[in-house]
Structure formats: C-alpha cells, structure tokens
Amino acid sequence: MPTMLRLAVPTILVLVVQTLVGVAETYFISFLGTDAFAGVTLVFPILMLMQMMSNGGIGGGVASAVARALGANRRADADALVWHAIILACCFGVLFTLAALLFGRVIYQAMGGTDATLVAALTYSGIVFAGSVPIWITALLSSALRGAGNVAVPAFVIISGAVILVPLSPALIFGWGIFPQLGVAGGGVAVVIYYIAAALTLILYLRSPRSLLNLRIVPLHFRLFKDILGVGLLAALGTIQVNLTVTFVTAAVGGFGAAAIAGYGIASRIDYLQIPVIFGLGTAMVTMVGINVGAGRMARARRIAWTGALLAFAATATVGVISAIFPHAWMSLFSADPQVQELGALYLRHVAPTYGFVGLGLALYFASQGAKQVLFPVLAGTVRMVVAAFIGWASVTWFGAGAATLFQIVALSSVAYGALTVAAVLAARWERPSNMQPLVPVEGSSLLG
C-alpha cells in the first residue's frame, strides 16, 4: 500500500486539479444560458471518450508495455515504446478530428441537439477536436512516464497548465481585457492551447538527460505496437463502451427536453469527479502489477490488485452515499432552474448509491491491464453497456418509461459491472509471457519494494 499511494497520490492530485478545471469551465459556460450549457453537455461524452481512450485505453496499453519491459529488464524496448506511442497518438488524434468534423452534426442531433443547442455543440466540438493530436500526445507520453514510475513530471505539467487555463478560459469566453469575446468557442480554444503547451513540455523532458525514458526516433517494430495494442485496443474498447453508455443515456434523457439534458449533465459530472481517485489508483496498479508480472512475481501482483480495488470501492462508495443524501447541494451550484435541479437530484438518488461497484470494477480493470488480461473485464463492461445504454434507451424510446425508471436501469448496470469484473479477475490466470526475461534485481528499487 505505501508504494501504491506514493505512485497514486500525485496522479490523484493532478486529476483533481484537472477535473476542477473542467468543473470551472462548466461554471463559466453556464452563464451563457441553458442552450450553450446543453450544447457543451452533448459534446462532453464524446470528449470524455477521447480522453478516457487516450489515458485509460491506449494510454493504459503504453503504461503496461513500459512497466512490463522494465520489469523484465528490457530497457531498450522501454525507450523505443515512447516513439511508438507518439506515432499512435498522431494516428488516433487525426481519426478523432476527422470523425468530429464529418459526423459531429449527426451525433449531436441523435442525442437531442436542436437549434441553438446544436449550434453551441458544433462550435465547441469543432474547436476542441481540432486539437486532438496534442491531446493524444500528452496522454500517451504521460502514460509512458507513469509506466516507468515517474508520476512527478506529468503532475507538474498538468498543474502548471491548470494555473494558466483557469483564467484563460473565462477570459476568452467573456472577452476580458485584451482577449476577444468568443463565447462558447472560447472554452474550446483555451483547452487546445493548454494541450499544445503540455505536449511540447513532455517531449522536451523526454529528450533531456533527466528522464529515465529517452525519446528518440527509432525504427518501428510491429512487436512493440503489438505490445501496446494487445492491451490498449481492448482497453480502448472498454472506454468506448463506457462512453456509449453515457451517450445513449444522454440521448434517452434528451427526450425529456433541454432542461433535462442540463440537469443530467450537471449531476453526471459527479460520475467523472470520481475519475481522479480511480485513475490515480489505477495507473499505480498498472505500473506495479506490470512490473511484478514482468518479473514473474504473480502473488504480489494479485495482492496489489485487491488492495487497490478495496481502496477504490471505499472512496467511490463514500462519494455515492453523500451525493444521494444531499443531491441539491451539488445541483444548486450550477443552476437555479427547478426543473434542472429536480432531474439531476433524481439521477443522484438512484445512481449514486451504486458508485462503489463502478469503482471496484474499474480498479480491477486497471490491474488487468498491468497483467495483460483485459478481455473478461472488458466483457463485463459490455454487459453494463447493454443494460444501461440499450435497455435503458429502449425503455424510454419504445416503451415510454420515465426518467426514474431509466436511472434505476443505470444503477442495476453498475452493480452487474462490479460483480462480473470481480468474477473475471478471480478466474483469470496471470503469468509472465515466455518471451520476457526475469528482472535482474537492482538494489534500492522503489517500484518492486
């Protein structure tokens, strides 16, 4: 646990800051009116899809590959994986930019966006996704450093950027001082500027002699892409499932009107506020499990997994209980509209008590990334998606179910996800791949303890 917390706490702090920056931007945009806020809410699940895929999906594959390479004492491979990660970041970034430009209107209309709400969504989306490549580079290089046990540099980059982003976002939204008044577009411009600066900073650090990992242009090898994508593609599928779930639930809520979309958008931000704790513990687990699997220490790898899972369950369950008991304390921060507040409170009363099961499942999912055993945890996510997204959406669209019934179905899917992921990890056989050499012990190694 001391090693896990030493690796997790800086990442948790970073993501708390990053999440609060997102909440602050939500607060600033709320002053532009319900249509602008609802438009950004429609973009949010797609943006979170990209961020979760880059950090927890393909990024998880990068961290796992680097950790397993270092655990098996393959330093040259660990360095080469950094360049391979940049190539993947450029490819995935371009794909997201093209997808947003070509299919954004269809997606946001399908989620209930019309008139001014749709215009706001397309404006924000077009700007944010134009910066997809630096977003991906920042995520994958941060993942590589975390896989090597370096959590300080990604923490410094994110926190430093937040200090700039918090005043820059409202300055561009409202036109403070020398800055133009860009409205909802200003929030997107501020985000893109931040990620360009973060990506350049990480590249310069990885080129410096201070970095444990060294970024240099090397010949590309299929086996290294396979080492990343063998974990990353399945993990990315898991993030797609999570965000498809959010997208379908948002679309179902959209049938109740713009105020309902806004209320759900505010309430569901608490879902994402748990990401700092889960992701912080999860990235520590990827590194520690990967190092120990690479070194052939399977019993210790499993102890790490269950320790992290219990910590995640305790933290997220606590947030869930408080949110369910005091829903209006959160909702009133963002809107005085009674319809918006009531819909959001309804969501929190039904769904928040099951947050602990989601935290438990996601923590074990991260541990499975480190062990390169993600198939069955991803399938558990598939069950969650089918129940929450498809059954929930169909209940509203085809059978006229109300919002309360929709949120009860979402809650049921969370419980099923946690239980099935526990079963998947209990049944999995973790073993060191035969092509890896055992770690040569190094005196004073902090990662292996």
Burial class (CB in 10 A: 0-12, 13-18, 19+), 336: exposed
Distances (CA, A) of 102 to 3, 95, 105, 107, 182: 45, 11, 8, 10, 23
The pLDDT value given to residue 364: 93
Largest Cα separation within the chain, whole Å, is 65
pLDDT of residue 390: 85
Alpha-carbon gap, residue 332 to 313, rounded angstroms: 27
pLDDT tens for 102-138 read 998 888 888 777 778 888 888 888 898 998 999 999 9
Residues lower than pLDDT 50 in the chain: 436-449
Give me the amino acid identity at 411. Answer: A
Q: Tens digits of per-residue pLDDT, 384-426?
A: 989 988 898 888 888 888 888 988 999 999 999 999 999 999 8
CA distance 346 to 381: 24
Q: What is the pLDDT of residue 393?
A: 83
pLDDT at 434: 56
Predicted pLDDT at 17: 76
Joined together, the tokens standing for residue 71 give: 């655990």
Q: What is the pLDDT of residue 306?
A: 93
What's the rounded Cα separation, in Å, for the pair 277 and 312? 7
Q: Which two tokens stand for residue 245?
A: 């779930």
356, exposed or middle or buried, with CB in 10 Å at 0-12, 13-18, 19+? buried
Residue 433's pLDDT is what?
60
In this prediction, residue 447 carries a pLDDT of 40
Burial (CB count within 10 angstroms: exposed 0-12, middle 13-18, buried 19+), residue 399: exposed
